[in-house]
């Protein structure tokens, strides 16, 4: 006779008459699987790329995603697999980014993105259309800093510092006694990126000011999205060139003129991304 297996954790169900005088073999394996589902951790290395999780991987209660990423990854649960997991995204970006970690059901239901440095409690379930969806049950915080998302309908008040790795959302007011911080730093300050040679902008420069002394700055294609801004300060007594890379259109504010720009000594300018690889540049000392 042939064993069958459960849908979600793939636990063996021996057929009647199987394993005569050898019952310990399937029973011990099944209890190991059950124990795994209650507290074992599966480590997933995001540098190896997207993958469909095997039963040996998704049986664990805890999924820990690690690695220095150079692209976004999606981990897919096989169709019809339900369950509950605590997923921790401890990845970093090796280049470009910010890259994302997504958990998705193979059956075509809803997916979720796991915020970086966040422990997310998620559940997969059969929805009204008999399709497996994934939903967020909650967020686990390791300390007094919210590393993920905090959503409230009213006011959020902090006596000293309110800090979130990704997002804090309040229906009305967020109040902090001294400092409010986001992933870049104090919201009352503009984070600095000091460069002493030729520099090519990266995605994490959005919202920062770049201080340069020599070599100029290149605005690359395929990095920034609409509404992102970068400020550039020429901290030298020599002019610096702001170069539009191949595929980029950089227009001087108030004109139809496009192309590379020169930033005079101690000049200050701001780049606004207006769409796909399109920028407007304006400021003091731009020509």
Is the same domain home to 213 and 164? no
| Structural contact between residues 132 and 82, judged by C-beta atoms closer than 8 angstroms | yes
Q: What is the pLDDT of residue 69?
A: 94
Q: What is the pLDDT of residue 145?
A: 42
H helical segments located in the chain: 24-39, 55-58
Range of the structural domain that residue 160 is part of? 149-186
Is the same domain home to 63 and 114? yes
pLDDT class of 19 with cuts at 50, 70, 90:
confident
Q: What is the pLDDT of residue 144?
A: 36
Global pTM exceeds 0.75: no
Q: Is 29 inside any structural domain?
A: no
> Nearest to residue 49, comparing CAs of 66, 71, 29?
71
Q: What is the pLDDT of residue 49?
A: 96
Decide if pLDDT at 139 tops 50: yes
For every residue of 186-233, which 3-state class applies, written as one string?
ECCCCCEEEECCCEECCHHHCCCEEEECCCCEEECCCCCCCCCEEEEE
Q: What total of structural domains would you count in the chain?
A: 3
Question: What is the 8-class DSSP label of residue 147?
Answer: -
pLDDT class of 147 with cuts at 50, 70, 90:
very low
Is the same domain home to 48 and 134? yes
Is the same domain home to 182 and 205? no
Each residue's pLDDT tens digit, 83-138: 999 999 999 999 888 899 999 999 888 899 998 888 889 998 888 887 888 888 77
């Amino acid at each position: 006779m042939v064993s069958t297996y459960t849908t979600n954790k793939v636990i063996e169900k021996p057929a009647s008459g199987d394993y005569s005088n050898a019952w310990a073999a399937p029973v011990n394996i099944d209890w190991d699987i059950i124990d795994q589902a209650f507290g074992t951790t599966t480590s997933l290395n995001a540098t190896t790329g997207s993958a469909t999780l095997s039963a040996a991987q998704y049986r664990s209660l805890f999924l820990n995603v690690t690695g220095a990423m150079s692209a976004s990854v999606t981990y897919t649960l096989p169709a019809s697999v339900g369950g509950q997991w605590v997923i921790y995204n401890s990845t970093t970006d090796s280049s470009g980014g910010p890259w994302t970690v997504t958990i998705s059901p193979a059956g075509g239901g809803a997916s979720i993105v796991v915020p970086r440095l966040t422990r997310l409690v998620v559940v997969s379930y059969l929805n009204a259309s008999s399709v497996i969806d994934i939903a967020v049950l909650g967020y686990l915080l390791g300390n007094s800093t919210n590393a993920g998302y905090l959503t409230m309908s009213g006011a959020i008040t902090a006596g000293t510092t309110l800090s979130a790795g990704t997002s804090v959302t309040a229906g009305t007011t967020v109040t902090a006694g001294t400092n409010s911080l986001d992933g870049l730093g104090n919201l009352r300050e503009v984070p600095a990126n000091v460069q002493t040679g030729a520099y090519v902008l990266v995605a994490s420069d959005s919202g920062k000011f770049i201080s340069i002394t020599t070599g100029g700055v290149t605005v690359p294609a395929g990095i920034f999205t609409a509404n992102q801004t970068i400020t550039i300060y020429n901290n030298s007594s020599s002019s610096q060139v702001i170069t539009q890379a191949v595929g980029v259109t950089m227009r001087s504010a108030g004109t139809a003129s496009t192309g590379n720009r020169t930033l005079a000594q101690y000049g200050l300018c701001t780049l606004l991304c207006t769409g796909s690889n399109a920028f407007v540049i304006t400021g003091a000392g731009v020509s």
